[in-house]
Structure 1
Amino acid sequence: MSEQTRFTTALATFDSAVRALPGDRLGSHTPCAGWDVRALLNHVVGEDRWAVELLAGRSIADVGDSLDGDLLGEDPFAAWAAASAAAAAAVEAAGPDAVVGGPTPVAEYLRQLAADHLVHAWDLATAAGVNLRLDTGLVAAVAEWFAPVEETYRSYGMVAPRPPLARDAEPQARLLAMFGRSEALATVERFQAAFDAAFDDKDVDAVMACMTGDCVFESTAPPDGERHAGAGAVRAAWEKFFAGTTVEHRIVAEERFDAGDRVAVRWRYEWPGGHVRGVDLFVVRGGLVAEKLAYVKG
C-alpha cells in the first residue's frame, strides 16, 4: 500500500463517518479525551487545511496562526467537504521526494495523516453509536508504522496510556489500544445507549445490533439467573423484559471497569417506589457484545 493510497483510504473512511453522523450529535462526547464531535471534526479539518499549505511548500511560520480557532463556521459538514477535497488534491499533486514543514519527507507526513484520519474516523463513528470496522489492510499498515514510535508519541502526551487488552484481541482492537482507545469499553457504552433508548421505544433491534450472533445473556432472575444463548433466545428475552417496563423504569450506569475484552459495569435499576443495584459483566468480540452476565445485590 503506497503512502498516497494509505492516505486516500483513510480520508474516505473519515468521510464515510462524517456522512453517517446525525446533525444533532455535534455536542456528543468522543473516545478522544476532552473532545466532543465538533472539536474532533474541527481538528481534522485543520489538519487537512494544514496539509494543503505544507504540501504547497509553505512553512509552519508562513501559515502562522491563520488556521487556529474555529474552522467549521455555521456549516461543519460543508467545511469538512471543502477541506478534505482540497487535501486530496494536494496529496495527489505532491511529488514523492517533497518535504513538508522543513525536514519531514512527504511519505512520512502522509503516514501520520493516514493514522490520524483512520483513528479519528473510529472516534467519530463511535460517538454516533456506529460499530465501524476499519479496512484490515490499512489497520495493518498503520500499526506497522506506529509500533516503533508509539512510546515516543505517548511520552509527549500525544496518545493516552494503553488500556488493558486481551491476548487474542483482533488487529483493530490492538491498533486502537496503541492509540489509547478501548474498543471493549466503547462497545459497552454503545450497548448501554441502545438499551436506554429501548426502554422508551421498545426497540429490540437497536439492542441486538450491538450483540454478536452467538451472544449470551444471563438475567438476574432468582436464584441463579436465567441463561439465554443465541440471538433468537436473547431477542426473546429482551422482548419479554421490555414488555414489562415503562418510561419510568430506567438503568443508570454508575461506574465502568475495563479489563481487555471484558468490561464490568455497576448499575442502579430504578422504578416507581424502588430500586436495586447490580453488576453486568460483558465480554466483547469484534466490536460487539458477546456476553452480558447480570448480577444483583441479594
Structure 2
Amino acid sequence: MTAALLYTRAVSVFDGVLRAVPADRQAAPTPCAGWDVRALVNHVVGEDLWAAELLAGRTIAGVGTAFDGDLLGDAPLETWSVAAEAAGKALADVADDAVVALSAGPTPVDEYLRQLAADHLVHAWDLATAAGTNLRLDSDLVAAVSRWFAPVEDAYRVHGMIGPRPLVPADAEPQELLLAMFGRSEALAAAERFGAAFDTRDVNAVMAAMTGDCVFESTAPPGGERHSGADAVRAAWQRFFAEAGEHRFTTEETIVAGDRVVVRWRYDWPAGHVRGVDLLRVRGGLVAEKLAYVKG
C-alpha cells in the first residue's frame, strides 16, 4: 500500500468515527492521558492543517503559531472537514520524492505520510473508545501501520512520544498488538466499556460489550452459577437488574495482564456491602468471560 493511499484511508476512518461521536461526549476522556474528545479532535485537526502547509513546501518557522490553541470553535466537524480537505489537496499536488521540513529535520514525504496515517488510525480508535464503541480497524491498515512502526517503536518510546507497551498474549490479534505498540490496552478499554454499560443497567449495552459465546459465572448463593452463551447471559443480567433494587458497584482497582483484566470492586446495598473481584477475559475488544468471586 502506498503511503498516500494509507494516509487517505486512515483519514477516512477517523472521519467516519468522528461523525458518529454523540454530541454529549465532547468532554469524555480518551485513552490519551489528559485529552478529552475535544482535545483529541483539536490535535488531529491541527495535524492536518500543518500537513497542508508542510506538503505545500512551507516551513515550521513560516507557519509559526497559526495553529496553536483551540482550532475547533463552535463548529468542530466543519473545522475538521476543512482541515482534512486542505491536506488532501496539498497531497494531490506533492511529488513522490518530495521532502518535508519537519522539526526532526528534512523528511521524505513517504515517511511523513506514514506518520500521519498511524496517528489518524490510532486516534480513530481512541475516539471510538471514548464514545463507548468497539472499533474494529481494517486489517490492511493495521498491517501497513504495524510494518512501518515496528522498527521505530523503541525510538518513539524513548523520546516519550508513546506510553509503555502493555502486556499482550503471545498470540495477540494484529489490532490488539498494534494498539499495544502505541501504548494502548484493548483489554482495559473493553473492561471499562463493559463497566460503564453495567452501571446504566442497560442489558442491551452490556451484551453489546460481550462476545456471542460469552460466559458469566455469578456469585449467586450457595455456590454460584455458570451461564454460557449470549442468551443465557442476557437472561442472567435481566434477572439481576430486576431483583437488585438499590445497589451500587464501585471499582476499587483494575489490573490488566494481557487479555485478562482483574477488577476489584465493592457492592453496596441498603442493608450492607460485600467486596469481590471479576476475572475478565477479553477477545476482539469484547468481554468473552466474566468470572465473579465475592467475599462477605
Q: Give 1:24-173 correspondences, 5 Å limit.
A: 24-101=24-101, 103-173=106-176
Distance 2:93 2:123 in 1: 25
Distance 2:89 2:292 in 1: 52
Distance 1:183 1:171 in 2: 11
What residue number does 2:290 align with?
292
Distance 1:249 1:72 in 2: 40
SS of corresponding position for 2:112:
helix
User: CA offsets per residue over residues 42-63 of structure 1, 9 Å max, x none?
Assistant: 1000000000000110001101
Q: Give 1:215-294 correspondences, 5 Å limit.
A: 215-246=214-245, 248-294=246-292
User: CA offsets per residue over residues 73-119 of structure 1, 9 Å max, x none?
Assistant: 11212211211121122222221111111511111000000000000
SS of corresponding position for 1:270:
strand
What residue number does 2:203 align with?
204
CA offset at residue 191 of structure 1?
Answer: 0.5
Which range moves more in the overlay, 84-93 or 67-76? Answer: 84-93
User: CA offsets per residue over residues 264-298 of structure 1, 9 Å max, x none?
Assistant: 00111122232211100000001110000001114
What residue number does 1:174 align with?
177
Structure 2 unmatched ranges of 5 or more: none
Distance 2:86 2:293 in 1: 53
CA offset at residue 224 of structure 1?
Answer: 2.8
Distance 2:197 2:212 in 1: 17
User: CA offsets per residue over residues 121-150 of structure 1, 9 Å max, x none?
Assistant: 000000000000001001000000000000
Return the letter of the residue paired with 1:272: P
CA offset at residue 222 of structure 1?
Answer: 2.5
RMSD across aligned positions (CA): 1.0
What residue number does 1:21 align with?
21
CA offset at residue 33 of structure 1?
Answer: 1.3
Return the letter of the residue paired with 1:295: Y
Which range moves more in the overlay, 119-128 or 266-275? Answer: 266-275
Distance 1:224 1:88 in 2: 61
| TM-score, scaled to structure 1 | 0.96
Distance 2:45 2:28 in 1: 18
CA offset at residue 164 of structure 1?
Answer: 1.1
Number of residues of Structure 1 aligned to a counterpart in Structure 2? 293
Q: Percent identity?
A: 70
Distance 1:156 1:238 in 2: 46
Which range moves more in the overlay, 138-147 or 267-276? Answer: 267-276
| TM-score, scaled to structure 2 | 0.97
Distance 1:97 1:168 in 2: 38
User: CA offsets per residue over residues 215-250 of structure 1, 9 Å max, x none?
Assistant: 00000012331000011110110111111133x322
Return the letter of the residue paired with 2:293: Y
Return the letter of the residue paired with 2:17: A
Which range moves more in the overlay, 268-277 or 123-132? Answer: 268-277
SS of corresponding position for 1:129:
coil
